[in-house]
């Protein structure tokens, strides 16, 4: 099933004992069938909150404002039951850590059969056959035997393949991969990226890849949104972001990518300063306290979203089209 | 799995031997001569000597222990000092009553406690959760003999709905079942609370684990997540608790049997201790220890069956 996804002015806050945490503020993103969208940013920038909101999996203390439109339906206004019916049917999530993503006391086959529960039209034997075929497709040999295995009997890379297979089994229109390679070693990471690249050729839904790893994003995605402190600060085609970044934060982030340094460094470069406190976000630009190009209005006035080209936008006072 | 079972059973047998050694050591160390205590101050030395011989107390302690186990292996647990009936017969007569009582209580406690714990988790933070929590702690705090006495007063004496004493007419299942209600409820009540608390606590922990989020992300219904994905893991600490608690269930059966004048192991052992009937005490303790050890082993094997990770640890 295919359809278009758009978040409009999406804000999410978590109500805690220490006040509201404004984890996501006024986020606008969109994605079209066949596109691979990257979401990048440092830890705590709100990328997980964003995809959790898209997957309708926010915890009970989360309050959501704005709109998430999926095939013309506003996900933010659906009741819990309708949301559950979309999860694992039209929207699938490959979660962060393959080591803990599966139930340790049920076999892989048992869980993957359950995950197809929306398919009332096919029986258990047919579901098992689909699993075997899908496991083969994601590069797992002797699929029949692997279905009898428990998660702890599989390696991390294999579990991540199983997680991707599980998501694809549901034939989703929106596939969200939240840090799909973060918990893996470099070899496994390369294999999983290779697998995802293979998949995108045959898959015509939307794929959203979340990562703090710029290389992963550059290799997989068509368009990228850069997030900082709960806001999308820049968005555009992969080429535009990686070669013509305009927002000071994106530029700083790219300058810190270890992959850009060929000679050995004693110290890796970092962006000075820390993330703002999200219980009381600054009223001006969120990045202003760490920005080397900040000037008068940055501290007091929230910067506008500046349109740089058809798809390239940046939220900054200092950029001009 | 087989090696694991053999290891656990071997360990169980060792525990049996150690318990009996400790029992004999206790008899040996307690001051006073059991025969004169049993016969009273006016017994003739002749009679005393006879009784000491019959109890085998003139032999060295280690020999008594060896003899005991040698006989036990052939099914002979010795003879009642007073009635001269075989101890094995006495125990086998009393055991079914106590086992039925204990197992009924346990089954009731599990059948009510586990769903209450699950309900608490599914409705966490609501009034239902709070009510279950308060009631659980409440029933844990009340000792089973207190429940026994008050329920006896209310349901048997005042309302006359259920019989007050005995185990029911022999051969009449309905009357035996009616006689079982109050004693079983008295034991089960506290355990319902224990089990509900335990299930809720371990379930809350499991529900926070990432694999539950995975199950949610595939849109599985909440009841299925709770009953299949979470309960299979969360029930494990409860199985251990219940296995260990069975000892305390059987010992509370002793009090409850006293209150309801039910024949059973509890009554057998109390009477035997009061009359210094050592062969009966030893035989009963051996059987109870054996039951206790078997249940612990069964629980460990069940846990290994439920959790493949435990199975693999013992496979290697």
Residue A28, CA atoms < 13 Å, CB-side half-sphere: 15
Same domain, B294 and B200: no
Res B220: pLDDT = 92
The 10s digit of each residue's pLDDT in A217-232 is 888 899 999 999 889 9
pLDDT of residue B117: 92
On whether both B201 and B301 belong to a single domain, the answer is: no
The three-state secondary structure class of B79 is strand
Query: How much is the average pLDDT of B261-272?
Result: 83
Cβ pair A152:B309 closer than 8 A: yes
Judge whether B90 lies within some domain: no
Let me know whether B161 and B140 are in one domain.
yes
User: Does residue B307 sit within a domain?
Assistant: yes
Contact partners, residue A27, CB within 8 Å, separation at least 6:
A7, A9, A10, A11, A46, A50, A66, A227, A230, A231, A232
Q: Which residues 219-248 in chain B show a CB within 8 A of chain A? A: 219-221, 224, 228-229, 232-233
| pLDDT of B164 higher than 80 | no
Structure tokens at A318: 């200092």
CATH of the domain at B245: 1.10.3720.10
Of residues A87, A96, A106, nearest to B219 (C-beta): A87
**pLDDT of B32:** 64
* Record: fold of A5-90+174-190+205-282: Rossmann fold (3.40.50)
> Across chain B, what does the average pLDDT equal?
83
Please check whether residues B103 and B153 belong to one and the same domain: yes
Residue B246 has a pLDDT of 81
What is the ipTM for the molecules in this complex? 0.85
Domain end (from B220, B241, B263): B263
Q: CB B215 to CB A87 under 8 A?
A: no
Could you tell me if residue B58 is inside a domain? yes
Q: Find the closest chain B residue to A150 by CA distance.
A: B308
Question: To the nearest whole percent, how much of chain B has pLDDT over 70?
Answer: 95
The pLDDT of residue B193: 92
Q: Are residues B109 and B233 in the same domain?
A: yes
Q: Is position B224 within any domain?
A: yes
CB contact under 8 A, B219 and A105: no
Q: Return the pLDDT at A234.
A: 93
Find the closest chain A residue to B207 by CA distance.
Answer: A103
Q: How far is B229 from chain A (nearest CA, A)?
A: 7
Cα–Cα distance for residue pair B226/B230, rounded to 1 Å: 5
Token pair 């009359």 is found at B275
- Of all residues in chain A, what percent carry a pLDDT higher than 90? 31
d(CA A285, CA A61) in angstroms, rounded, equals: 27
CB–CB of A103 and B215 under 8 A? yes
Mapped onto helix, strand or coil, the DSSP state of residue B125 is coil
Q: Supply the pLDDT for residue A3.
A: 58
- Provide the domain count of chain B: 2
- Confidence class for position B313, pLDDT limits 50, 70, 90: low
Q: Are residues B182 and B60 in the same domain?
A: no
User: What pLDDT score does B315 carry?
Assistant: 56
For residues B166 and B19, membership in a common domain is answered with no
Which residues of chain A neighbour B204 with C-beta distances below 8 Å? none
Torsion angle of C-alpha atoms A304, A306, A310, A311, degrees rounded to 10: -70
Query: Within a domain: residue B86?
Result: no
pLDDT value for B23: 83
- Quickly state the pLDDT bin for A11 (edges 50, 70, 90): very high
Q: Write down the mean pLDDT value for chain A.
A: 87
pLDDT of residue A1: 40
Q: Do residues B50 and B157 both lie within one domain?
A: no
Please check whether residues B313 and B290 belong to one and the same domain: yes
Total number of residues shown for chain B: 316
Q: What is the pLDDT of residue B31?
A: 65
pLDDT tops 60 at residue A139: yes
Taking a C-beta distance cutoff of 8 angstroms, is the pair A285, A317 a contact?
Answer: yes
For residue B246 the two structure tokens come to 């069975």
Three-state SS annotation for A119-150: CCCCCHHHHHHHHHHHHHHCCCCCHHHHHHCC
Where in chain A are the domains?
5-90+174-190+205-282, 104-171
Range of the domain at B238: 95-263
Task: List the 63-92 stretch of A: residues with Cβ below 8 A of B.
Answer: 84-89, 92
Q: Is pLDDT at A265 greater than 80 in this prediction? A: no
Structure tokens at A280: 């009381």
Nearest to A95 among B213, B221, B308 (CB): B213
- Do both B108 and B252 map to the same domain? yes
CB-based contact B221 A84, cutoff 8 Å: yes
Contacts of B308 in chain A (CB under 8 A): 104-105, 150, 152-153
Of residues A88, A96, A153, nearest to B218 (C-beta): A88
pLDDT for the residue B316: 44
Q: How far apart are CA A216 and CA A210, in angstroms?
A: 9
Best mutation target, A49, A103, A112, A163, to test chain B (most B CBs within 10 A): A103
Q: Of all residues in chain A, what percent carry a pLDDT higher than 70?
A: 99
pLDDT at A2 > cutoff 60: no
Distance of CA A115 to the CA centre of its chain: 21
């Amino acid at each position: 099933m295919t359809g278009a996804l758009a978040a409009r002015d999406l804000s999410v806050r978590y109500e805690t004992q220490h006040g509201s945490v404004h984890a996501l503020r006024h986020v606008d993103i969109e994605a079209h069938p066949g596109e691979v969208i990257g979401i990048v940013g440092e830890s705590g920038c709100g990328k997980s909150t964003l995809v959790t909101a898209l997957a309708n999996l926010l915890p009970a203390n989360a309050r959501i404002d704005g709109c998430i439109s999926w095939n013309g339906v506003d996900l933010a206004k659906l009741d819990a039951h309708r949301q559950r019916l979309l999860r694992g049917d039209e929207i699938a999530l490959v979660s962060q850590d393959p080591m803990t993503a599966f139930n340790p006391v049920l076999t892989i086959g048992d869980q993957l059969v359950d995950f197809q529960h929306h398919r009332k039209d096919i029986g258990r034997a047919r579901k098992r056959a689909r699993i075997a075929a899908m496991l083969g497709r994601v590069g797992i040999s002797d699929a029949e035997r692997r279905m009898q295995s428990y998660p702890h009997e599989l390696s991390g890379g294999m579990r991540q393949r199983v997680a991707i297979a599980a998501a694809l089994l549901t034939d989703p229109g929106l596939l969200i991969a939240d840090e799909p390679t973060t918990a893996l070693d470099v070899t496994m990471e390369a294999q999983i990226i290779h697998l995802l690249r293979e998949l995108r050729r045959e898959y015509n839904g939307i794929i959203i890849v979340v990562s703090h790893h710029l290389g992963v994003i550059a290799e997989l995605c068509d368009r990228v949104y850069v997030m900082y402190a709960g806001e999308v600060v820049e968005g555009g085609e992969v080429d535009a972001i990686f070669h013509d970044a305009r927002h000071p934060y994106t530029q700083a982030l790219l300058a810190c990518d270890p992959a850009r340094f060929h000679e050995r460094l004693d110290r890796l470069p970092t962006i000075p300063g820390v993330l703002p406190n999200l219980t009381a976000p600054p009223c001006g630009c969120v990045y202003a306290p760490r920005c080397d190009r900040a000037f008068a209005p940055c501290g007091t006035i929230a910067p506008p979203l500046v349109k740089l080209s058809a798809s390239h936008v940046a939220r900054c006072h200092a950029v001009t089209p | 799995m087989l090696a694991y079972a053999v290891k656990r059973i071997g360990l169980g047998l060792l525990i049996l031997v150690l318990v009996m050694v400790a029992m004999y050591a206790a008899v040996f160390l307690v001051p006073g001569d059991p025969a004169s205590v049993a016969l009273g101050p006016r017994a003739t030395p002749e009679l005393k000597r006879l009784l000491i011989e019959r109890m085998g107390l003139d032999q060295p302690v280690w020999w008594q222990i060896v003899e005991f186990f040698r006989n036990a292996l052939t099914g002979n647990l010795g003879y009642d000092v007073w009635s001269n009936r075989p101890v094995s017969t006495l125990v086998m007569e009393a055991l079914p009553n106590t086992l039925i009582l204990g197992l009924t209580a346990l089954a009731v406690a599990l059948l009510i406690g586990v769903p209450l714990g699950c309900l608490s988790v599914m409705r966490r933070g609501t009034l239902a959760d709070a009510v279950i929590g308060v009631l659980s702690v409440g029933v844990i705090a009340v000792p089973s003999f207190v429940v026994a006495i008050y329920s006896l007063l209310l349901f048997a004496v005042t309302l006359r709905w259920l019989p007050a004493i005995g185990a029911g007419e022999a051969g009449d299942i309905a009357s035996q079942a009616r006689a079982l209600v109050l004693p079983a409820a008295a034991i089960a009540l506290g355990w319902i609370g224990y089990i509900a608390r335990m299930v809720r606590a371990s379930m809350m922990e499991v529900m926070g684990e990432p694999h539950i989020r995975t199950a949610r992300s595939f849109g599985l219904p909440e009841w299925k997540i709770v009953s299949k994905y979470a309960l299979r893991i969360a029930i494990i600490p409860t199985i251990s608790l219940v296995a260990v608690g069975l000892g305390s269930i059987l010992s509370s059966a002793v009090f409850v049997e006293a209150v309801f004048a039910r024949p059973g192991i509890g009554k057998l052992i109390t009477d035997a201790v009061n009359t210094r009937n050592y062969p009966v005490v030893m035989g009963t303790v051996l059987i109870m220890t054996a039951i206790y050890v078997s249940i612990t082993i069964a629980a460990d094997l069940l846990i290994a069956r439920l959790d493949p990770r435990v199975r693999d640890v013992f496979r290697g």
